[in-house]
Amino acid sequence: MSRLDLKAFMQMKQRGEKITVLTAYDASFAQLFEQAGVEILLVGDSLGMVIQGHDSTRPVSLDDMVYHCRAVALTSQCCYIMADMPYHTYLQPTQTVENARRLVEQGGAQMVKLEGGREQLEVIEALVAAAIPVCGHLGLLPQSVTTPDGYKVQGRDAESAERILADAILLEQAGVSMLLLECVPAELAKRISQRVAVPVIGIGAGVDCDAQVLVSYDMLGISGGHKARFVHNFLRGNDSIEMAVQAYVQAVKDGRYPAAEHTYQ
């Protein structure tokens, strides 16, 4: 069984078929998610909060990411594997390429994801030149949040919305193969998804994105603390984790998730 690739996701976008994404941090969950029909596994630096117990993603190291990415890659046979580049690992082009190569060569990732807009064009271009696929991340940028009240919806006023849209276009021109939009109004996410050719993954970004992602612990209702508006517990009403993941996949495919109550205006 061969792994899904970027061509497959471009074709899905063109057909209007939704793409499903979940975070995965270990071998057992990676295998279960794949068997339940998830197409992309994101080894997220969210592990700093849900696995390690930190109050932000910043303490996560590159060694942490390589370790968890490798665990995911060992049991996944066909999912596409994306890995976050941790805080301060993509400050300049040479360092970025070296760090990304560790995630790919040692961790088994097919793509790396990094946060930021136009300020990241140089490092994105360096990664693309090194044949390392990149997912850009716009909207709420968790690595930039330093206090609990910093998790706010982005792009609600006209000026910031236009900047995010412009950044999305610039990142596509720089060569990203996917974009992730976090906590932005649904209408802005729809505009961006229609404007760029690459698949757009949403989290708190409305139903019109090409793909949806959730932190798996949130999707299963097993993470503590404040729950963002877009979080939905798919384990409630289902008898097993496998059934919960299948329910998530089907809800995304059918366009039932995210619903209006999960969406920012």
Instruction: Enumerate the domain spans of the chain.
Output: 6-262
Q: Domain 6-262 belongs to what topology?
A: TIM Barrel (3.20.20)
* In contact, 47 and 258? CB cutoff 8 Å: no
Regarding pTM above 0.95, the answer is yes
The torsion angles phi and psi of 73, rounded to 5 degrees, stand at: -65, -30
Integer Cα distance of 21 and 39 in angstroms: 6
pLDDT (tens, 9 = 90+) of the chain, 265 residues, equals 688 999 999 999 999 999 999 999 999 999 999 999 999 999 999 999 999 999 999 999 999 999 999 999 999 999 999 999 999 999 999 999 999 999 999 999 999 999 999 999 999 999 999 999 999 999 999 999 877 677 899 999 999 999 999 999 999 999 999 999 999 999 999 999 999 999 999 999 999 999 999 999 999 999 877 789 999 999 999 999 999 999 999 999 999 999 999 999 9
Q: Which two tokens stand for residue 35?
A: 């068997």
Q: What's residue 1's pLDDT?
A: 67
Integer Cα distance of 135 and 120 in angstroms: 12
Question: What positions carry a catalytic annotation?
Answer: 182
The torsion angles phi and psi of 145, rounded to 5 degrees, stand at: -85, 125
